[in-house]
Structure 1
Amino acid sequence: MDSERPDLGAMVMRLGRRLIAMEEPILERHGLTMWAYVVLTALREGPTRTQAALAQSIGADKTRLIPILDDLQKRGLIERDPDPADRRVRLLGLTTEGQRKQRAIQSEIRTAEDDLLEDAADREAFVRALRDLT
C-alpha cells in the first residue's frame, strides 16, 4: 500500500479542476456555459420526456435549469415539443444545430484530452478505470 500518495478523492478533485479549466476556453469559443454543454450532451442520446427528468439525469436543480433551457431554445440548439401521449409534457431534444454544436465541442475537448494523455495505452486504461469506478 502506498501511504505516501494522496487519497483518490483529493487526486480526482485536482484532476476535475484541471479538466474544467481545460474545457472552459473551448466552451467560451462556442458561446456556451459548462451546464449548457452538459444539457446538450445529455440530450445527444435522444429526447428526454420532462425538464425534471433531465435535471435529475444531470444532477442539476430543475429551477436553475429552466433559464439554461430557455437560452438554448432561443439559440435554436434544443426543441421543447409537446408529447403526443400527454400534451401537458414537453419533450426536450436537440435540433440539428444543437447536434452539430455538441459534436464540435466534444471533438475539441477530446483533442485536448488526447494531448493531456498522450500515450494511447495509458489513455485507454485510464478511461476504462474511470468507467469501472463510476
Structure 2
Amino acid sequence: MTDRPDLAAMIIPLSRALIDAELPVLREHGLSMWAYAVLLALDERPLRTQAALAESIGADKTRIIGFLDDLQRRGLIERTPDPTDRRVRLLSLTAEGRRVRDSAQAGIQSKEERLLARLPDEDRRGFLRALQALAALPPEEIADPR
C-alpha cells in the first residue's frame, strides 16, 4: 500500500476538468474536440492518410470522416489523392487551418498557464517534463511496462 492515489485516479478528474475548460475556447473557434485533435495531429506530419490520422488520435477512421468533411468545407484542411495510390487521401493543414489551430491552442494554453501558475517554478518544470515523457510512451509500454 502506498501513500498516494493511483495515477488514473488523479489524472482522470484533472483531465475532465481540463476538457471542460477547453470546450468554451474550442466553441469560440467553431471546433469540436475531435476537429481540434485533427488540426493538432496534422501539424506533426503535414501529410498523412485518413487511416493513419484516425489511429494517431485514437478515433475510428469512419467516425472522423464527418469532421474531415467539415474541416475541408471550412477551408481548414485539404484532402488530395495520393499520387502513388489514388484510393488514399493525403491530408494537410491550410494556412487558415493553421491560424485557427494556433489561436485555439493559445486560448487553451492561456487557461493552462493560470492552473500551472499554482505550482512553484521548479515543480511546474518537473511536472511538464514528466508529463511529456509519459505521454510520449507507446500505449503498449504503459499497459505492460516491463
Alignment TM-score, normalising by the size of structure 2: 0.85
Higher relative contact order (CA 8 A, sep 6+): 1
Q: Which residue of 2 aligns with 1:132?
A: 133
State the identity as a percent. Answer: 61
**Structure 1 counterpart of 2:126, which letter?**
A
After superposition, where does 1:1-134 map in structure 2 within 5 Å?
A: 2-3=2-3, 5-118=4-117, 119-134=120-135
Contact kept? 1:43, 1:94, Cα under 8 Å: yes
Aligned length in residues: 133
Q: Find the aligned partners of 1:45 and 1:85 in 2 and give their Cα distance.
A: 22
Q: Find the aligned partners of 1:122 and 1:41 in 2 and give their Cα distance.
A: 27
Q: Find the aligned partners of 1:34 and 1:85 in 2 and give their Cα distance.
A: 32
Q: Secondary structure at the match of 2:52?
A: helix
1:91 Cα deviation from its structure 2 partner: 0.6
**Structure 2 counterpart of 1:15, which letter?**
L
**Structure 2 counterpart of 1:126, which letter?**
F
Q: Find the aligned partners of 1:80 and 1:122 in 2 and give their Cα distance.
A: 42
**Structure 2 counterpart of 1:117, which letter?**
L
Q: Return closer, same or farther for 1:31/1:41 CA change in 2, 3 Å cut-off.
A: same
Q: Return closer, same or farther for 1:65/1:29 CA change in 2, 3 Å cut-off.
A: same
CA RMSD of aligned residues (A): 1.4
Superposed CA offset, 1:62-81 (max 9, x none):
11110000000001000001
Structure 2: stretches of 5+ with no match in the other structure:
136-146
**Structure 1 counterpart of 2:54, which letter?**
A
1:46 Cα deviation from its structure 2 partner: 3.0
Q: Find the aligned partners of 1:59 and 1:45 in 2 and give their Cα distance.
A: 15
Alignment TM-score, normalising by the size of structure 1: 0.92
Q: Secondary structure at the match of 2:88?
A: strand
The structure 1 segments of at least 4 consecutive aligned residues displaced by more than 3 Å after TM superposition are: none
